[in-house]
Structure 1
Amino acid sequence: MASSKLKIWILGIRPKTLAASIAPVLMGLGAAFYDRHFSLHLSSAILTLLTAVLIQAGTNLSNDLFDYIKGADNQKRVGPLRIMQSGFVTKKEMFLGIFIVFFLASVCGIFLVIRGGLPILIVGILSIICGFLYTAGPHPIGYMGLGEIFVLVFFGIIAFSGTYYVQTLAFFPMLIVMGLIPGFFSVAVLSANNLRDIKTDKEAGKNTLAVKFGYRFAVCEYIFCMIMPYLLLIVVIFVLRNHYFSLLSLTSIFFAIRPLKMAANKKNHTPAVLISVLEKTGHVMLIFALVFCVTWNIKI
């Protein structure tokens, strides 16, 4: 019984989407490892990764709850199983689950604040509040077409540069550009999700950009967000005139060809296909991040 309940909660945190929090942290650690002369503050690295994953898990659980309450997740929904919609947990259990996950994220975050100070405290509080308000409240972020901005900032710029800052206690403008790399990948994951849910989101009044601007826009948005990380990496290397081996991260585009083709072929857009696009996008993101971590630290 306990094991089946655990499986339900694991399903609720949507593990196949967690690349969005893992990849920017890995990339931030890779960049910091080089600038710390090939060393890491190991406990902070582990806690940063754990905090990021917990915040995303809490956000995903909040989305599950409030999308159900607001009617976006109903019987017409075509995506992966949602635990509230399926009746696996009660509202009371879900609220408790959300509280526990965000509480654990806060506990981990306290140790990061001790190291990183006020900037990390502000970022941590904002991340949890915005994660909850993504679908909660009278004016949820995800229902106003601001989801892409939220994801680009929090799962891109903040996750990457925050990770780097905790390690080095330093910040410079290029970190913002570098943070956009995993950020655009995360927006691509969101775009694939919104493309799949465009019909039910429209009926529920969830005004994502896909709902506002239509199906063709959503496809173009996905393709754009999948291409941008590769272009941005080239820009970063050109400006820094260093880390040339990290261009090997571009080879991950071979894994991106399949989901790009699937997204571009509107005739074959079944729910199963679009779910596969989302999953494959997460895989590409992780491959890119892992190759980046290694190759960024190769000296010529």
Structure 2
Amino acid sequence: MSIWVAGARPRTLPAAVVPVLVGTAAAAQGDLGPGRGIVAWRFVTAMVVAVAIQVGTNYANDYADGVRGTDSPDRVGPVRLVGSGLAAPAAVKRAAVLAFAVAAVAGLALAIAVTPWLIVVGAVSFAAGWLYTGGPRPYGYAGLGELFVFVFFGVVATVGSAFVQSESLSWLAFGASVPVGLLATALLVVNNLRDIPTDAAAGKRTLAVRLGEPATRVLYAVLMFLPFATVPFVAGLGGRLLGAAALLAVLLVPKPVLAVLEGARGSALIPVLGATGRIQLVFGVLLAAGLWLSA
């Protein structure tokens, strides 16, 4: 069980949890009484969908990279089940399908309660998760992974979580999705920075491979600080000024950013990956709490 938990890559789960927290908080309405218009079961179900898609994507990535031979034995980083020989490719593929199936069942419940259009959003999200490294032309191998992470783990997940509560679109949800997406993208950037040597050797042309180490390090720093520049604008939408509490998370940023800018590579980037996930989680919790309390 511990091997399968490790294969699910827990350090990446803040990318799934944060948009649901922030999107739900953005949908809160202060004039609707103590409950603030939030339907608890929809929140829980949206969280199940987000986490299951993230886990499914991670297993699908593990499977696809493993069968392609991208994950060599000398790869540094979180455990890869197929590449390290800890699990058969077919078993990892089944795990990915099972995770997506859990997301599909939970998503169907939301679609029945809210709108059938959520089925389309879910199907596109599943495809994006599978085709990141799967299929005949994986977009992750073409340097488009960061763009898709920003769109799906930022905009789609945050706005979608707000929509299942309010059943409407709001500028607040769109605005809040920007810093959420930037931090999720930073998580992928530092992961791909660590993998530049092995990815380049395997022909996996990620954005990090295309940009090279120096530019990727700068990109990571920008993605870590830029979200905080957006907070005043997000908190100002609808007068939810307590959302500015998310600025406190900037105190955690210098350490991992300095490690990257000073040339950390290989195993030295594993703690940076963990720190990035924690910063994303702290930022998301503070932003969500601030938006909720000032609703």
TM-score of the superposition, structure 1-length normalised?
0.93
Mean Cα displacement is larger for which, 143-152 or 272-281?
A: 272-281
Paired residues for 1:1-300 under 5 Å: 6-34=1-29, 37=32, 38-238=36-236, 240=237, 242-266=239-263, 269-299=264-294
Deviation of 1:174 after TM superposition, in Å, equals 4.4
Task: Quote the RMSD (CA, aligned, Å).
Answer: 1.5
Distance 1:120 1:204 in 2: 37
Q: 1:87 to 1:283 in 2, by over 3 A?
A: same
Residue identity matched to 1:250: L
Distance 1:299 1:27 in 2: 13
Distance 2:103 2:127 in 1: 12
Q: 1:241 to 1:120 in 2, by over 3 A?
A: closer
> What per-residue deviation string (whole Å, max 9, x for no partner) do you get for residues 213-265 of structure 1?
11111101111111121111222234x26111211110100011211111111
SS in 1 for 2:61: helix
- Stretches of structure 2 that go unaligned for 5 or more consecutive residues are none
> What per-residue deviation string (whole Å, max 9, x for no partner) do you get for residues 77-119 of structure 1?
1112211112111112112111111111111111011122133
SS in 2 for 1:235: helix
Aligned length: 292
Residue identity matched to 1:232: T
Q: Between the two proteins, what is the percent identity of the paired residues?
A: 34
Deviation of 1:36 after TM superposition, in Å, equals 7.2
- Stretches of structure 1 that go unaligned for 5 or more consecutive residues are 1-5
The answer on whether the counterparts of 1:34 and 1:296 sit within 8 Å (CA) in structure 2 is no
Deviation of 1:122 after TM superposition, in Å, equals 1.3
The answer on whether the counterparts of 2:159 and 2:173 sit within 8 Å (CA) in structure 1 is yes
Residue identity matched to 1:261: L
